[in-house]
Structure 1
Amino acid sequence: MKKKIIEITPEHGGSRIDKALSEFDPEWTRSKVQSWVKEGMILVGGKTVKPNYQLKEGDRVEVSEPEPELLEVVPEDLGLDIVHEDGDVLVVNKPRGMVVHPAAGHATGTLVNGLMHHCTDLSGINGVLRPGIVHRIDKDTTGLLAVAKNDRAHASLAEQLSQKTVTRKYTALVHGNIEHDEGTIDAPIGRDPKDRQRMTVIDGGREAVTHFTVTERFGDFTLVECRLETGRTHQIRVHMRYIGHPLAGDPKYGPKKTLSFGGQVLHAGILGFTHPGTGEYMEFEAPLPDDFTELLVNLRKRD
């Protein structure tokens, strides 16, 4: 149990305790804070309060944060689609619905569980729950990921990502008709202060740059290729929403009336990097998954 004392400043005076505390730590969601309040793990002035308690300037809040649940990564035969593998790196084509690494609520069935079954030589830089994981894509995004098989390879790939020399191209279907054939979205991304589960374009956020090219138009939908210059959480989903063209099927950033697709229509189709061992530039391509292809066929028939 970790204890943290928070002195309430004028900035948070008058705010609900669950809303205010969710702004102090990115891991403290409102629902998590509410459950802690109900369980008596959050005290104000040494006394328990209700989740709708309104904080006052000068309140002394004591948060007893439970230790994170220890997860054991169990190797699982998940039939991973391995596109490339050598002694340094592995490139895998992730299916829709698969989480990249274990976390609370996703202890099994993740890409890491499958990787642990496939091979034992993975880098340990990101710890036991994220062996070999250099970058991620969302649960419902399909496509290519590079995995490091040793710490030297991990450091090399991480540096390439930092230097923006990794090629990452995605195919996305978005709402609306984008008038321009191409464009660049340069807008900083940070956690949404109104909803800690979402990201948004915000002053003071981290640099985020997305280049897009229109490849096909369907009247009320547009097919685009997006090239990432940076790799922020939910970057393409946030940026396309920011310019008024949210991803089709996206339950978090899209409109309520969207395509029923089981998640955002987004595929990481091209991945290129300099091999950590040979110094050779390598590029890989994964075709659109069948459900994405079928959706495009139906849109063409409709038009």
Structure 2
Amino acid sequence: MTRTASNTALAISPQVGSIDAYMQGVNSIPVLTAEEEKSLAERLFYQEDLDAAQRLIMSHLRFVVHIAKSYSGYGLPQADLIQEGNVGLMKAVKRFDPSVGVRLVSFAVHWIKAEIHEFVLKNWRIVKVATTKAQRKLFFNLRKNKKRLGWFNNDEVNAVANDLGVTSAEVLEMESRMSSQDQAFDLSADDDDQSPNFSPAQYLEDTNSDLAEQVAGTQWEEHANTRLLHAIKTLDERSQDIIMARWLDDGNKMTLQELAAKYSVSAERVRQLEKNAMKKLKQAMGEL
């Protein structure tokens, strides 16, 4: 699977073109239904079908982009975060067991986050010290001007600021960054639930949204829409038109009076037809 997975990632890599074009490309790839995903996963798991692996990877690239966005506030290129997440996705696809009974996206979230976490961890120190060209220049100049250990006094801060052409606040901020110690990414082994300790691993990611929950919601909405369309087809042509015009046409919904004029009946008759049609729809959707 390694060869196919690598070619898949390179085919629409965020490094090839603009990040917006990449996102547009992966969002255009259809999401697999539960049945399609299970069939492909079984072909890969039991038959080592590389074409199935490629389809599984391609259809889940959009979720990697979604996860990578939640790590965008740390001075690291979005394309790099996505690339690392793609590596995690490929590892997840390789290890996915379709007999477990969960969707691939729920299983893959752990692997995608693990790769992104590892990437951020390797770059944690440089991100903390200097994230812009101006900050890096100040960092190196400040190290050259700092002749001793310990904090600058006010006169030294002002002198360095004048020499480097920056504000005293910028000097103090950079000195604080340079003097701080690296923090462990994960909690140590002796930490427990009762400890008031924190680590970057606990707050690095934006946890305001649950990807698996969002995917499940989207899939349920698509399923419900499909059932509704099938149910509408069980109605007669006039009832279909009334339901579409009254409830499903976002652009130009018709009133009872307009439909009454269209079918040369009273508005009350249209209301009755609408009520009967809605009752039939509920019954049809319950049977699907």
TM-score normalised by length of structure 1: 0.21
Larger relative contact order (C-alpha < 8 A, sep ≥ 6)? 1
Structure with greater strand share of residues: 1
Radius of gyration: which is bigger? 2
Structure with greater helix share of residues: 2
